[in-house]
Amino acid sequence: MPRNLPRIASLLGAVGAALAASACCIGPLVFALLGIGGAGSLLALEPYRPILTVLTLALLGVGFFFTYRRPSADDCGCEKPRVNRAGRWMLWGSTGLVLAALSFPSLVPYIF
């Protein structure tokens, strides 16, 4: 198994779960702006929002664990493993995207 696979999977899972958690609020708005009708059916996802939010935060926690844990020399077969700066940037970018998606339903009354 590639060394970066758990970290990348947790990042993608966190972003996907955050988008699913906020799909009840973002989805109808985006579809209405695009002129696509029938997007109100996404409101059926509202009861699952707390579950998806917890899943999102758990997956981000896994991503932070795999990104910031102290790498051992056995992981890469070298004496001094390098720090994956691109992975850290992706993690923080994903965290920002997740926070924006999760906070969107709370900000809707102030935006509109």
* Per-residue pLDDT of the chain in tens (112 residues, 90 and over written 9): 566 777 777 777 777 777 777 666 666 666 667 666 655 666 677 788 888 888 888 888 888 888 887 766 555 566 665 667 777 888 888 888 888 888 877 877 777 6
Please say whether the beta carbons of 19 and 49 come within 8 A: no
Alpha-carbon torsion 64, 68, 72, 75, what sign? positive
pTM: 0.59
CA angle 99, 82, 65 (to 5 degrees): 35
Alpha-carbon torsion 1, 95, 27, 103, what sign? positive
Question: In the chain, where are the structural domains located?
Answer: 5-71+83-105
35: phi then psi, degrees, rounded to nearest 5: 85, 20
